[in-house]
Structure 1
Amino acid sequence: MKYHDGSCQATRVAGKLAGIKKIAVLQASTPGDFIFTLPALEVLRHTYPRAEIVLLGQSWQAAFLHGRPSPIDRVVIIPAYKGVNTASHSEKQRDEQTQFFSRMQAEHFDLALQMQNGDRDTNTFLLKLKARVTAGHSTPDGPQLDRCLSYTLFQHEILRWQEIVALVGAPKNGSTQPRLTVTATDLKESLQVVPEDTRPLVALHPANNDPRSRWPGHQFASVGEALVREGMRIAITGSEQETDISAQIARQMKASALDVAGKLTYAGLCGLFSRCRIVIANDAATQQLASCIGTATIGLYWCVNMLTRGPLNRQRHRPFISWQLSCPTCGHNQLYGNCGHLDSLLTDISSDQVLSSARELLKA
């Protein structure tokens, strides 16, 4: 989706609101995007300690947050809605939307926050809740909210959402480190897939939704082999849709590795990563997940993604940045649009660099 910079014409007022008993937060996006909102949601919780915070999200969020301490009190799964979580065309979907908004209006939200983007579809959705006050981003093509900021492209996502909650009185000096609690259920699931072993555990996550943002597979395999020789145990992670990528890495490694792609939920990955000494991953939700629970990470980023999604501290995190801008096939500069080729733009990050950082983190 393409966003345009533009001025928000609604009043840019800030300050804490009075009489806030129930807050709706629209965030029905990917796990990585949700994780970036956590510091802002923590500050929101401290600002309105007695308010009920209701996340309007997806089924994976309801399952993941069930029984897990978080700023969220309750998750409501939203129906299919164009531009928010999926395309919407059928009569059945329109009926589900009508019923959903009727229920949400009956909740009488005092405040509704749009923490997804700010375009026409998401802001239209938010306004249909009929909350007393609305806040979030706005783009020129979308309806504007009571308190808003213009959506700009190149801003770190954690800081972006902290600015949004600041519109409703949350202080700007909160932590920038997302945090998640690992539960006994997380650990139990991970142990069923990856039993205990005397060797230290390292996870490799070679997948990414965009092939251009994947570090080459043979580089992952090279680092994995070297760590096995140094006494580590390797687990290769990924989703059910990414099993071909993890299997390729496992085949390329001459040393043994556990291919657990598609075998763990996000909760199970929390449990697994909490047992790892390091997680080495492309810019993906799993890298953010490992960071949330305090595990050391090595992240592999294309330069533009590092601007908006990279770790904001270096105590336990080592990002590597590729500055490769030209498509290896046609030479097109990727800053000015996608040429359609899927070649990796991370080939200038060497396995020696990554291995050196892994050894440093293992000694820490």
Structure 2
Amino acid sequence: MGDLVPGVERIAVLRANALGDFIFVLPALDALRAAYPKAEIVLLGAPWHANLLRDRPGPVDRVLVVPPAPGIRVADPGEADGQVDGFLAEARAERFDLALQLHGGGANSNPLVTGVGARVTAGLRAEDAPPLDHWIRYVYYQHEVLRYLEVVALVGAGATTLVPRFAVTDADRNEARAVLGDPDRPRVALHPGASDTRRRWPAHRFAEVARDLTGQGYDVLITGTPAERDVVERVVTEADAPVRPLIGALSLGALAACYADCAVVVSNDTGPLHLAAAVGTPTVGVYWVGNLINSGSLVRARHRPIVSWTVHCPVCGADCTRGLYPHREGTGECPHRDSFVADVPVAEVLEAARELLP
């Protein structure tokens, strides 16, 4: 492990991507807080981070919103690109002592972190990325939690936990209660969406799980974002049971409170699954084997990953053992987005859920 950086009063941490990505970095942020207890930790994040983390207990003191830029983050609707120079000038005025790149391989993010002007920089470096003061090689197959703990260890921040923890506030609970009411029986949540359709277990299989759990007397919620409306509605229709759809009805904080009150959450490998685990709820996650290596829960007392061992594209047979994400359109690789987890049996998911349910 590296040495602590002397005289650190303010730390910048770049992590401006999606919900699950933020959950994975929480143990590294906890390690920074323990190593530098008097320093201000500023997340260089997206607008949704600012909304979610405002007045929330945790290792992040403040969010500085990074503008949309290639390899950093995609613009929200109505948000303008091209504000990076102004952002960097604002960041340099903060006089950061330490800037950490916990965002990815670094081709785009390392120049941004260097541009913040901190005394010391540290982070990840892929082959096409410029170096930082302290860096470790970005290797695709590594668990995300451990990846970022290795980075903060470069500046003397040893791990204090391997398990991400996310705080639920009274405001979150009040919002969730206003939408859901008080529970009159144990609740279960199913999340059938995922931004990448290759990570989606078929809707009809979620419907079978919903029908079974409803028949056992559970209050079954089907959660989803507005972009996932179609798949949520398919699950509700095919379940043919009194389940409750929740499509964009809760803020992220209230969704965390909703999951915290559930006996189990069954989900694809996507942000809500990792949020549920971070608030202490037992989970059953459906994973493609490659993603299990990078993002599966590191513990098994309360979490059950159910794995598909599919390694070839179901459409064209392309070998995807190098990971799904390097195979993008325009790269000469497999362009198909059919599910890689469709073969996971319903019986296996239900057996795991029953093990965890009270």
| Partner Cα distance (1:342, 1:86) in 2 | 21
| Partner Cα distance (1:322, 1:120) in 2 | 31
| Partner Cα distance (1:79, 1:199) in 2 | 44
| Partner Cα distance (1:52, 1:64) in 2 | 18
Q: SS state of the match for residue 319, structure 1?
A: strand
Answering whether residue 45 of structure 2 is matched by residue 50 of structure 1, we say no
Q: SS state of the match for residue 44, structure 2?
A: strand
Distance verdict in 2 for CA 1:329–1:93, change over 3 Å:
closer
Answering whether residue 14 of structure 2 is matched by residue 26 of structure 1, we say yes
Partner residue, 2:131: 144
| Partner Cα distance (2:239, 2:283) in 1 | 21
Aligned runs of 1:194-343 on 2, under 5 Å?
194-335=180-321, 337=327, 339-343=334-338
**1:289 shift after superposition:** 0.2
| Partner Cα distance (2:40, 2:107) in 1 | 27
| Partner Cα distance (1:348, 1:290) in 2 | 24
| Partner Cα distance (2:354, 2:194) in 1 | 24
Partner residue, 1:358: 353
The Cα offsets for residues 189-247 of structure 1, whole Å up to 9 and x where unpaired, read as 21222112312100000011111111111111001101111100110011111111101
TM-score (norm 2): 0.93
Q: SS state of the match for residue 154, structure 1?
A: coil
Answering whether residue 154 of structure 2 is matched by residue 167 of structure 1, we say yes
The Cα offsets for residues 264-288 of structure 1, whole Å up to 9 and x where unpaired, read as 1211111100110000000000000
Q: SS state of the match for residue 260, structure 1?
A: strand
| Partner Cα distance (2:144, 2:37) in 1 | 24
Partner residue, 1:3: none
TM-score (norm 1): 0.92
Partner residue, 1:154: 141
Partner residue, 1:6: none
Is the CA contact (8 Å cut-off) linking 1:14 and 1:147 kept in structure 2? no
Structure 2 unaligned blocks of 5 or more: 328-332
- Counting matched residue pairs gives 346
Is the CA contact (8 Å cut-off) linking 1:276 and 1:295 kept in structure 2? yes
Partner residue, 2:111: 124
| Partner Cα distance (1:78, 1:327) in 2 | 36
What is the letter of the counterpart of residue 25 of structure 2?
T
Is the CA contact (8 Å cut-off) linking 1:205 and 1:236 kept in structure 2? yes
The Cα offsets for residues 70-92 of structure 1, whole Å up to 9 and x where unpaired, read as 1011111112222111379xxx7
Cα RMSD for the two superposed structures:
1.6
Partner residue, 2:55: 67
Partner residue, 1:8: none
Q: SS state of the match for residue 185, structure 1?
A: helix
| Partner Cα distance (1:122, 1:226) in 2 | 46
Per mean C-alpha deviation after superposition, the further-off stretch among 128-137 and 341-350 is: 341-350
Q: SS state of the match for residue 263, structure 2?
A: strand
Q: In percent, how many aligned pairs have the same letter?
A: 42
Is the CA contact (8 Å cut-off) linking 2:75 and 2:81 kept in structure 1? no
| Partner Cα distance (1:85, 1:330) in 2 | 31
Structure 1 unaligned blocks of 5 or more: 1-12
